[in-house]
């Protein structure tokens, strides 16, 4: 019988729970740093985007040639582009008005909605374009303080650079593989 890694994990976890069970009162006090929280959220968004790109778009469009992904996906009964999927998810989260938001931005955005707006966003994008390292900062917007993390979005394949370089609305036409094309901005409201 094949034992899934999840079954093994749960078996291990229940053994651990038996040894180190934490009562609820203490569990409520447990905390995690805001940077770790941002990094965890990023890993989920990034994984969903990669899975959609590889297992849906690339498989159905490039391998099985069943359907294409198009910017005007509604009109053309096609699949949305990965960046559009990400934006639609981000818009749903923003509707909840929790203060927590995320967005894929770029200094050379095809969709002007994805241009940097706050001073921190502009500075972060300039920094990650050079360093390709995550950028972390705190900013005050209105009266509220936010922890803002920005993760570089790299041109990992020829498809990224070709589509952006050829796009009519792209202000930049010379992207190369390996370059930073933009950044995923995650903004977490801080407690007063
Ligand atoms: C078939 C065309 C196409 C491909 C392939 C593509 N993109 Fe895009 N990308 C777009 C379009 C169109 C948008 C604007 C989507 C929107 O409406 O928000 C976009 C948005 C973005 C943005 C947000 C800024 C902007 O330009 O609006 C980044 C960053 C980005 N793409 C990076 C990438 C990376 C990295 C890859 C490869 C992993 C990639 N793109 C592949 C067409 C494409």
| Pocket test residue of 110, 117, 168, 177 for ligand 1, highest count of atoms within 8 A of CB | 110
Position 14 scores a pLDDT of 65
Q: Where on the phi/psi map is residue 91: left (φ > 0), alpha (ψ -120 to 50), or beta? A: alpha
Which among 96, 142, 120 is positioned nearest to 186, based on CA atoms?
A: 120
Residue 183, burial from CB neighbour count under 10 angstroms (0-12, 13-18, 19+)? buried
Given the CA of residue 71, which atom of ligand 1 is nearest to it? 12
pTM of the model: 0.90
**Residue labelled with tokens 């894929």:** 104
> Does the C-beta of 107 come closer than 6 Å to ligand 1?
no
pLDDT tens series, the chain, 192 aa = 556 667 676 666 666 666 666 676 777 888 999 999 999 999 999 999 999 999 999 999 999 999 999 999 999 999 999 999 999 999 999 999 999 999 999 999 999 999 999 999 999 999 999 999 999 999 999 999 999 999 999 999 998 999 999 999 999 999 999 999 999 999 999 987
> Does the C-beta of 153 come closer than 6 Å to ligand 1?
yes
Position 26 scores a pLDDT of 74
Position 4 scores a pLDDT of 65
Given the CA of residue 182, which atom of ligand 1 is nearest to it? 29
Give me the domains of the chain, ranges plus CATH numbers.
32-189 (3.30.450)
Position 152 scores a pLDDT of 97
Position 192 scores a pLDDT of 75
Residue 123 and residue 129: Cα distance in Å, rounded? 10
| Pocket test residue of 164, 176, 178 for ligand 1, highest count of atoms within 8 A of CB | 164
Position 15 scores a pLDDT of 61
């Amino acid at each position: 019988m094949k034992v899934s890694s999840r079954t093994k994990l749960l078996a291990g976890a229940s053994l651990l729970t038996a040894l180190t069970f934490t009562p609820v009162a203490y569990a409520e006090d447990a905390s995690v740093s805001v940077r770790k929280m941002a990094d965890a959220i990023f890993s989920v968004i990034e994984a969903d985007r990669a899975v959609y790109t590889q297992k849906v778009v690339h498989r159905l469009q490039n391998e099985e040639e069943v359907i294409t992904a198009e910017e005007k996906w509604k009109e053309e009964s096609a699949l949305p582009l990965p960046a559009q999927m990400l934006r639609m998810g981000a818009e749903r989260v923003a509707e909840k008005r929790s203060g927590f938001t995320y967005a894929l931005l770029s200094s050379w955005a095809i969709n002007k909605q994805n241009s940097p707006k706050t001073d921190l966003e502009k500075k972060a994008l300039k920094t990650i374009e050079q360093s390709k390292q995550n950028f972390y900062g705190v900013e005050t917007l209105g009266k509220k303080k936010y922890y803002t993390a920005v993760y570089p979005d790299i041109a990992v394949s020829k498809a990224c650079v070709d589509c952006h370089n050829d796009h009519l609305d792209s202000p930049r036409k010379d992207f190369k593989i390996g370059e930073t094309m933009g950044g995923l901005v995650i903004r977490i409201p801080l407690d007063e």
